[in-house]
Amino acid sequence: MSASRPQAQPTVQIDNDRVVVTEWRFPPGAETGWHAHDRDYVVVPQATGKLELETLDGHTFSTLETGVSYYRDKGVEHNVVNANDFEFVFIEIELK
């Protein structure tokens, strides 16, 4: 996590015995901070844009498209950074 970056804002929408649904809002340049996913998850982008992924293997960029979901297995470790000059939003659905 960088002291100079704003923090992405998570809002938990659903947390029950089967899923956790979180809306993530990233102001320009905002980050999640380093974290490891302990659940399988699906991301549903609410905007089209580019995210920077800081991983154990280095930095990469990922272009996401509005409504085009993707799935990842648990165990992913990264810091996600909004690489756009506009707010970026996605919904994360974690499977319990």
Which tens digit of pLDDT belongs to each residue from 14-43?
Answer: 999 999 999 999 999 999 999 999 999 999
Residue 4 banded pLDDT, cuts 50, 70, 90: confident
Residue 2 banded pLDDT, cuts 50, 70, 90: low
- Please tell me whether the overall predicted TM-score, pTM, comes out greater than 0.85 for this model: yes
- Hey, is 6 helix, strand or coil? coil
> Residues near 41 by Cβ (< 8 Å), separated by ≥ 6?
71, 72, 74, 92, 93, 94, 95
What is the tens place of the pLDDT at every residue in 32-79? 999 999 999 999 999 999 999 999 999 999 999 999 999 999 999 999
Residue 82 banded pLDDT, cuts 50, 70, 90: very high
Handedness of CA 67, 68, 69, 72 (dihedral sign): negative
User: How high is the pLDDT of residue 3?
Assistant: 63
